Structure 1
Amino acid sequence: MYIIAIGWLYVALMMSVAEATNTTGTVLGAIITFLLYGAGPVALLMYILGTPARRKAIRAREAQEAEMLRASTTDGQAPGGPQEPVETGRPDAPQGPAGRRD
């Protein structure tokens, strides 16, 4: 997958060099050529092709969190462990871990 992206970026770079060195070409035209014909499409393609890997990583992370939650509940503790109120020293400050007053 990466070899195709590298090859396309090389082609777009050579198109940009040809644009910049042409007698009627400009450097701005070369930059626009590289961005619109090279970097933009390759970035979009890599994002689309990377979607299955991102989904797999999210599922693995969720499974790991579920396993940790399951392990903590079998130890006799509440999910997330014991929570104590937060003392700020101000009487008008929100109390508790969720930032609410009870």
Structure 2
Amino acid sequence: MTAIAWIYVVGLMALTEPSVVAGLMTFLLYCVIPLSILFYLTGSGRRKRKAARIAEMNARAVANAPASTTADDKTKTADT
């Protein structure tokens, strides 16, 4: 919610700039770049939890997988 308010405030600041280039620079430097850094930093915990969840699911899949065939079994089936 705070990010939306910040986008609104910076958007109004950009509209009051004397040129389009100055308005775009204001919006980029005061809004887009800081908010992207903020979202990246606040999402780091979420990314870590997702990676841990994927690793756990992979470990469960390996543990529940049927036993793989050995090299001897492969040569026996190839010989017949």
- TM-score norm. by structure 2 comes to 0.82
| 1:77 paired residue among 65, 68, 74 | 68
- Matching residue's letter, 1:15: M
Pairwise CA RMSD: 1.0
- Matching residue's letter, 2:52: R
Cα distance in 2, alignment partners of residues 40 and 71 from structure 1:
45
Identical counterparts, % of pairs = 28
Cα distance in 2, alignment partners of residues 36 and 52 from structure 1:
26
Cα distance in 1, alignment partners of residues 16 and 19 from structure 2:
10
Name 2:60's counterpart in structure 1.
Answer: 67
- Matching residue's letter, 2:63: R
More helix by share: 2
Cα distance in 2, alignment partners of residues 56 and 5 from structure 1:
23
User: Residue 67 of structure 2 aligns to a residue in which SS?
Assistant: coil
Q: Alignment length, in residue pairs? A: 69
TM superposition outliers: structure 1 runs of 4+ over 2 Å: none
Name 2:37's counterpart in structure 1.
Answer: 44
